[in-house]
Amino acid sequence: MNLILLDPSEVDAHHARITDARRLTHLHDVHRAQQGDRLTVGIQGGAMGKASLITLSQHEALFALEDLCESAPPALPVHLVLALPRPRMLARTLEHVTALGVKEITLLHTKRVEKSYWQSPELRADKIHQHLVLGLEQARDTLLPNVTLCKGFKAFLEGQLPQLLSERRGLVAHPGMENACPRDVDEPTLLLVGPEGGFIPWEVEQLIQAGCDGMHLGPRILRVETAVTALLSRLF
């Protein structure tokens, strides 16, 4: 937790109060925080800065806020479309991509996504929120990504993709494509990453016909969470 991310409801004009066990335990056990310590805080959706710890008990931490005038770091110019991975990998991937600065995420059904994954508790709004918060706290950011679920590939292709591609360059990550993943991109990009079994050939064809470019990351086939991190690092 490199940033204590505060919900606006925890803050008044000059103070912040937190009472949940997760952050209190972290303050005690990891920060070994003491009265008078100055820690980095940020308000969800807002600014960041320093706050001094007035009191810390097992039940609450009270901070005096200094001038919060630091902005969140810049976002990546990317909308990530991720074929829904298995629940544990989804949790880690959401955390990683949030820490890297992705602000738009679509979780998509494709042929090789296990249908049962859509029933996972990891897809509950509160669980998704938890993973996003961990990513923001890690990277010192305050702006939550938007996560949308799309349970039909054809519906995505016909309904959402044309609009998304009207404002962005589309890139499909797929092993064996002719072109390598580009570097140092600064234009708005739609990045599509397949499920653990990969996109089927028909899906790749449809995405390319719709205007996306296929690209590869070299001969090594990477796990989804590794591939997403490598792709984002290389692209931006």
Q: Residue 193, interface with ligand SAM (CB under 6 A)?
A: yes
Q: Which of 49, 45, 145 is nearest to 95 (CA)?
A: 145
Q: Residue 222, interface with ligand SAM (CB under 6 A)?
A: yes
Query: Which tokens belong to 134?
Result: 């961990």
Nearer to ligand SAM, 1 or 212 (CB): 212
Binding ligand SAM by CB under 6 A: which of 14, 124, 129, 223?
223
CB of 207 to ligand SAM, least distance (A): 11
Binding ligand SAM by CB under 6 A: which of 23, 92, 131, 174?
174
Q: Residue 155, interface with ligand SAM (CB under 6 A)?
A: no
Q: Residue 31, interface with ligand SAM (CB under 6 A)?
A: no
Q: Residue 198, interface with ligand SAM (CB under 6 A)?
A: yes
Binding ligand SAM by CB under 6 A: which of 217, 225, 229, 232?
217
Nearer to ligand SAM, 168 or 174 (CB): 174
Q: What are all long-range contacts of 207-213, with beta carbons under 8 Å and residues at least 24 apart?
A: 207/157, 207/161, 207/170, 207/172, 208/172, 210/157, 210/161, 210/162, 210/165, 210/170, 211/165, 211/170, 212/165, 212/170, 212/171, 212/172, 213/169, 213/170, 213/171, 213/172, 213/179
Binding ligand SAM by CB under 6 A: which of 92, 161, 194, 229?
194
Query: Which tokens belong to 191?
Result: 């990045």
- CA pair distance 131, 49, nearest whole angstrom: 23
Rounded (5°) CA angle 172-187-190: 30
Query: Which tokens belong to 51?
Result: 């706050």
Q: How many residues does the chain have?
A: 236
Residues from 40 through 79 that contact ligand SAM (CB under 6 A): none
Q: Which stretch, 47-55, 67-75, 120-128, 218-226, contacts ligand SAM (CB under 6 A)?
A: 218-226
Query: Which tokens belong to 50?
Result: 């320093």
Q: Which residues contact 66 (CB under 8 A, 6 or more apart)?
A: 38, 49, 50, 51, 52
Nearer to ligand SAM, 11 or 173 (CB): 173
CB of 68 to ligand SAM, least distance (A): 39
* Residues that bind ligand SAM in the complex, under the rule CB under 6 A: 173-175, 193-194, 196-199, 216-218, 220-224, 227
